[in-house]
Structures are given as structure tokens and as C-alpha cells.
Amino acid sequence: MGEFIKAFEFIANNGAIAGQHSLPSLTQLTLETLKVAAIGVAISVAIAVPIGVWLGHLHRGSFFAINLGNIGRALPSLAVLAIGDAFLGLGLTVVEVALVILAVPPIITNAYLGVDGVDRDLVDAARGMGMSEREILTRVELPLAVPLIFTGIRTASVFVVSTTTIASLAGFSGSLGDIIANETSYHFSGVLGAAICVAALALAVDWALALLQRAVTPRGLRLQGEAKVGVGAPAPGLT
């Protein structure tokens, strides 16, 4: 466990290594990671949530939504990044594109399942009350779909953080993964320290999103089904 002690020292030193002056600090790299991940998640959410929600409302395209999730899961992030590197060089744009490709499937699948899965009787009642399609979507389906939609976003976000660090393996520099990929300079203690930071970062992101989910979930739902949704674990996708 001496390794862990050295790792914590590394963290305490903000990643400074004796004799190396041009290396970025831990805080810098952490923020970089967050930045890259945030952009990736934001774009993915902007693309995937509307599509998934819309398909779910129409109850169409289930084959597409669900299989997209399956295929997305099957894509090894390293391979996707590496191919991006091979053909386009691994700049920020290419990395973001890769992140979006990997993050969109789980968000679409969960958004679709969330809206599609709203009790049809409720929707029927709403329609019978004279609500327009848009009102049904915004006042009935979306609030009820929040748990699943957010679960998808959380899964995707953690995944994006993870993939951002992996990007360093493929040659991208600008995340905590740089340290892990560079044992020569940082020694194992540095690698371990960075690993601890990455883990902490991912957990922090997940918990932050969990709090956000709580804030956004309608109170009635929260009271009813916290047990059902589980402690915010990724939806298993029982199809």
C-alpha cells in the first residue's frame, strides 16, 4: 500500500514532478477532462434526447432505438478513437465526434424507453381531456420519463469521462489520461494518483447528475417510485 501513499502525495502536489517543469498540473488536466467531456455530453444530449423523446412519443422506431443502443455498446471506445486518429488525426474535434458517436446510443435508447413506457392509459386520459400533442409531451410524458432519460444521460456522461481518458491512449493530449499513458515521466505513483482522480471525477459527475435528477424529478414520482428506478443505476434494457 506504499504505492497509494505515494499516489496521494502526487495528488497533494498537484501532479508536479521533480525535475519536470513543462508538465500540466493535475487541476489543469482535470479541468481539461471535464471540458472535453462536457462538450461531448452537451452535444450528445442535444442530438439524442429530442430524437429519442420524439420516437418514444410516436411509439415508432423501437427497433432502431433499441438496436442502436446494442450497437453502441458493442463499439470499443479505443477502436473508435484509434480509427479517428488513423484517418483524421486526433484533434479536439475528432475526439468530440467520437465521444458523440459513443454517447448518443444510450441516451436515445433510454429517452425512447422513458417516453414510450409512459402508461398508455395516462396518455389516453390526457388526450381525452383535450390536451394537444405538444402538451401531452411536455406535461405528461416528459415529466414521467425523467427518471429514465436522466439515467441515460448519467450513463453516457460517466462513459464520456471514461472515454476522454482513453483518448490519451490513442494519442490525444488534454486529459487525465495523459498521465496514465505516460508512466515514464510520472512513475507509477503518478499513474495511480491520476487513476484515483479519474475515479473520483467520474463518481463526482455521477453524483452531481443524480442530484440534478432529483431536483428535476416531479415530487409525486419521487415519492412513488424511488425503489423502482433503483439508485440511479443505468437501465438494464430488458430487450
Partner 1 sequence: MRPRREIGPTEATEVSALAASGPVIPNFGANSSKCVVENRFFCGEWVSKNWDSVLWPALRQHVLLTAIAVGIGFAISMALALAAHRYGWLERPTILATTTLYTIPSLALFELLVAPVGANIFAAEIALVSYTLLILFRNILTGLREVPDEVLDAAEGMGMSRRQTLLRVELPLALPAIVAGLRIAVVTIIALATIVYTIYNKGLGVPIHTALGEGPFKTELIAAGALTVLLALAADGLLVLLQRALTPWTRAR
* CB contact at 8 A, 70 and 126: no
> Does residue number 35 form part of the binding site for partner 1 (CB under 8 A)?
no
CA distance 33 to 61: 34
Give the one residue of 36, 45, 49, 80 binding partner 1; rule: CB under 8 A.
Answer: 80
Give the one residue of 58, 88, 199, 216 binding partner 1; rule: CB under 8 A.
Answer: 199
CA distance 17 to 186: 7
Give the one residue of 30, 44, 110, 165 binding partner 1; rule: CB under 8 A.
Answer: 165
In angstroms, the Cα distances linking 86 to 22, 93, 97 are: 28, 14, 14
State which residue, 23 or 43, has the beta carbon closest to partner 1: 23
In the three-class reduction of DSSP (H, G, I as helix; E, B as strand; rest coil), residue 176 is classed as coil
Smallest distance, partner 1 to C-beta of residue 49, A: 21
CA distance 2 to 146: 45
State which residue, 141 or 168, has the beta carbon closest to partner 1: 168
> Does residue number 230 form part of the binding site for partner 1 (CB under 8 A)?
yes
> Does residue number 24 form part of the binding site for partner 1 (CB under 8 A)?
no
Bridge partners of residue 17, in order along the sequence: 20
> Does residue number 62 form part of the binding site for partner 1 (CB under 8 A)?
no
* CB contact at 8 A, 64 and 141: no
Which letter does DSSP use for residue 29 in this model? H
Residues at the contact surface with partner 1, assessed by CB under 8 A: 1, 3-4, 7, 70-71, 73-80, 82-83, 85-87, 158, 161-162, 165-166, 169-171, 173, 177-178, 180-185, 188, 191-192, 194-196, 198-199, 202-203, 206, 230-234, 236-239
